[in-house]
Structures are given as C-alpha cells and as structure tokens.
Structure 1
Amino acid sequence: MLKISAKKLSKEEFEPYGSYFDMLHPASSNLGAFFHDHVLFPVSGSMPIGFSTLVSERISPMIIKSSEYHNSTGEGMMALDGDMILYVAPPSNKPVPELTEAFIVPKGTFVAIRTGVWHMAPFPLNENRIHIMIALPERTYFNDCTVIDYKEEDYIQII
C-alpha cells in the first residue's frame, strides 16, 4: 500500500489542482471590509450553483479507497468547523492513485478544485466530525460524477 503524508497547503504545491483563499483571515485586495473575487469558480451555462453540506467522520487509519472527478465542472469546498485533509490527483483518462497528494486545509479556507482533478470527500484532521460546505452546479453529483473504487493494492494511506 502506498503511504503519503499530508503537507501544508501552499500556492505553489496546490496550483496544479486549483486555488484557495482563507475566508476567516482575508488579506490582499479589498474594498473596505469586502474581500472580493479571490477564488473564482467558473461554471458553464445557466446552471445554478448548489451549496451542500458534507458531514465527514474521522477514520483511522486514513485509507483512500476511491476517488472521483467531474468532467465539466470543478468543485468548491470549505471546512466550517475543523481542519481537513484533502487528497487530489491530476486529471487523466484513467485513475492515477500513484500520483495522489494530500494537503492540510485549515477551516474557513475555500478550495476550488479544477475540472477533472481526482478527489473525494476530505478527512477531518483533528476532530471526530467536521462539516464541509460543497459548491457544485446543481445535480452534478448525479449528472457528472465518475467514481472509481481502487483495487486493494492501489489503496493509499495518509500518514
């Protein structure tokens, strides 16, 4: 089984997968108390964005057994009440578990994952349960969500 360590979120390391902004500690350009347009979440057509809640339970050990991607949209997420570990792998025409990386995302940091990036539900870092806001075009989870289960020899443990 492949073992990977979750690393601190940084612009340089995460840039191939998307972008992020700390919503609880905003900095950079602003209009007074309004910190604008720091994470762009492009969508196509006139589909509304749905904001959903994902309840993520802590598991030990943290084993990645599956992954998903969206072919026509990215996905936005933000942990509301605890830090999370997000795992991602580059877009490809087949699963690439050997290219998976894990990042520690502080609570209140909005992450925009690029279209086609392999990912799945994040794990809580320290809490037993966290609530994660998910932003996707309406019904993407039904219409544009390819989920694969890894073979046991391709499982990944986050250490």
Structure 2
Amino acid sequence: MIIKAKNITPENFLSFGKIVIGAFGKPTLQAADYKFWSDIINYKIDGDTEIGICTVYKKATNSINGMERHLNTPEILIPIEAPFILPLLTDRDKPEQAEAFIVDIGQAIAIDEKVWHGACIPLNKSECSYFVIFKKGTPFSDVEKTNLPEITIEP
C-alpha cells in the first residue's frame, strides 16, 4: 500500500491529536524584550513526565511494517533540526486507512492516547532528531506494538 504524506493542519490532524503551528493572536504577556503566548494547546498526563530525544535514519524506502501506541499517555513530538514524516492510524481504523503528516521545524504535535504511530521518517535528510515528551517510564511500561502490511509513504 502507498500513502502520500500531507502537510499538517489542525483540522486534518484532529482525529490523531493536536498541533502547534505557531503563535497567533494577542500575546498572553509581553514587554519590550519578549512576547509570550500561553495555552496554545492542552493535553493531560497523569504523573511525572520525561523528555527524550529520538534520532531516526533514512532507509532505502520510506516504508513501515508496524506501529506502536501508548494507552496511558499522549506523546508530544517536536522536530529539532529537520522536518519529519509521521505515519498514524487511529485505534478504530484499518491499516489501509493510515495517514502520514509532514511535521516541520517550529511545529509541535501531541498525539492522543491509543493512537497508533510509526517511527518518524526524515524528510529530505539522511537523519533527523526530535524531542519526545510523555509520562515517565512509558518506554518500559506502556508500549503496545502491532505488525502491519507494508506501507510505503511518499513525501
């Protein structure tokens, strides 16, 4: 199966979570030397959180054959030095309904609990890193994996 990655918007990402694309409207606080926008998105994590960094590498093809999900925490991803493609599938959809989104530098996404997601795929780079924020201990206690028929993602 082949799917085309799409540019992410709050509307087309809504069934998977929330996105920060930039600061809009009147700042919450500002002075001569700063502007601050508060409460751009909300998500709930019970307990302590952790911040990690994941680095992914370009493969010969932009293909995946599995995804993972977390039942007890959202997952926040923030590109560091390069954009990436993120494959996703809601918990009620079939593999052929998978979608992929391009997440750019300066954007942040909060993937809802129970949403299946593949490893990010570097876009136009041989590798890319991104911050990962979720409930502390998630990699050891809240990862469910599933195999899928191969999905190739076109940028």
TM-score past 0.5 threshold? yes
Q: Deviation of residue 29 (structure 1)?
A: 4.1
Cross-structure match for 2:7? 8
Cross-structure match for 2:23? 26
- Alpha-carbon RMSD: 1.4
Describe the superposition over 1:36-90 as per-residue Cα deviations: whole angstroms up to 9, x where unpaired.
121222112xx21100000011123100111011111110001110111011111
When normalised by structure 1's length, the TM-score is 0.88
Structure 2 counterpart of 1:124, one-letter code: P
Alpha-carbon distance in structure 1 between the residues aligned to 2:26 and 2:61: 40
Cross-structure match for 1:57? 57
Alpha-carbon distance in structure 2 between the residues aligned to 1:121 and 1:29: 36
Structure 2 counterpart of 1:60, one-letter code: A
For the residue of structure 1 that corresponds to 2:119, the secondary structure is coil
Structure 2 counterpart of 1:26, one-letter code: A
Percentage of pairs with the same residue: 26
- Whether 1:35 aligns to 2:32 is no
- 5 Å matches for 1:72-87? 72-87=72-87
Asked whether the 8 Å contact 1:86–1:122 carries over to 2, the reply is: yes
- Whether 1:157 aligns to 2:152 is yes
- How many residues align? The count is 149
For the residue of structure 2 that corresponds to 1:155, the secondary structure is strand
Alpha-carbon distance in structure 2 between the residues aligned to 1:81 and 1:59: 18
Q: Deviation of residue 147 (structure 1)?
A: 1.0
When normalised by structure 2's length, the TM-score is 0.90
Match of residue 104, structure 2, among 103, 106, 117:
106
